[in-house]
Amino acid sequence: MLVHPLAGVYAAAVTPIKENQTFDREAMPALLDFLARRGCHGALILGTTGEGPSFSPEERQAIWQAALEVRQDHPEFRLLAGTGTPSLTETSELNRAAFGMGFDGVVVLPPYYFRNASEEGLYVWFKKVIEMSVPNNGAVFAYHFPRVSGVPLSLNLLQRLKEDFPDQFLGIKDSSGELAHVQDLRQALGREFITLVGNDRIFSRALGAGASGCITALANLRSKDLRIVWDGFLEGIEKGEAQRSLTTARDVLERFPPTPAFVKAMLRTLHQIPRWELGPPLTALSSEDEARATREMMRAVIR
């Protein structure tokens, strides 16, 4: 079975934040080391779970620079940068910075402020972003998360970008949570198009439908289960127990929003990782919700 070098299990990494609301630089390499040792092939830095839109361009670059230190002990660990803003210029600058640092790819949100933009307008925006900021060997993933961004990415739009930029526009982070969408992507864009799903609940079935891996918030906590499912898929062996555990844990995560708050709280209570703050406007779980979430996660077979 041929597997793309960028396929696999990725964590949508949280961002360590100190009590004074500044980035905890020393903590980022340690977090990524934790994820690498627990089976992650890589991590998305400053996606939704990482509170990416809350940081300035200068802060994002400092966070990415700190993340690169994980490769001192894990040289094969893959790093994807979360980019994409309503500004074409700022998005392009962020992409150039990430590629200049040596990131393996960028995951680009659509210009989310403009929710009524036409498909043609979105095509021109992505086309210009790629032309302005992506090297010939650079990997671009569109970020399809319409429930949050408010801007869905149609199959026709993705097909046009893939046809025009076959060596750069490699895939999508699909956070629709819909197995049917994974199947549609495979049918419309072929085996070479990399679909990384954002919902652990459908991971096994998504792999069977043609997905190339995942980028999930739950990978911060349950990457061992995700890796069991991934390795089993490559071996042709269904890992039902691990998938059921992931489904249960995903149900818990969705009952205690916001996701960054849940993940940071559970890293502390389940894995003894220092408690990190959240950037406004997000707020921490209440003590009651954190206690309930911990009990429910403990029942989901901690790995």
**Average pLDDT in the 259-282 region?**
96
Q: What is the pTM of this model?
A: 0.95
DSSP 218-257: THHHHHHHHHHHHHHHHHT---HHHHHHHHHHHHHHHHS-
pLDDT tens digits for 121-161? 999 999 999 999 999 999 999 999 988 898 999 999 999 99
Distance CA 238, CA 235 (A): 9
pLDDT for 155 equals 97
pLDDT for 2 equals 55
Tell me the fold of 8-239. TIM Barrel (3.20.20)
Share of the chain above pLDDT 70, in %: 98
Distance CA 102, CA 80 (A): 10
- The residues carrying an active-site annotation are 48, 113, 143, 173
Q: How confident is the model at residue 299 (pLDDT cuts 50, 70, 90)?
A: confident
Q: Which two tokens stand for residue 32?
A: 């990524």
Ordered by start, the domain boundaries in the chain are: 8-239
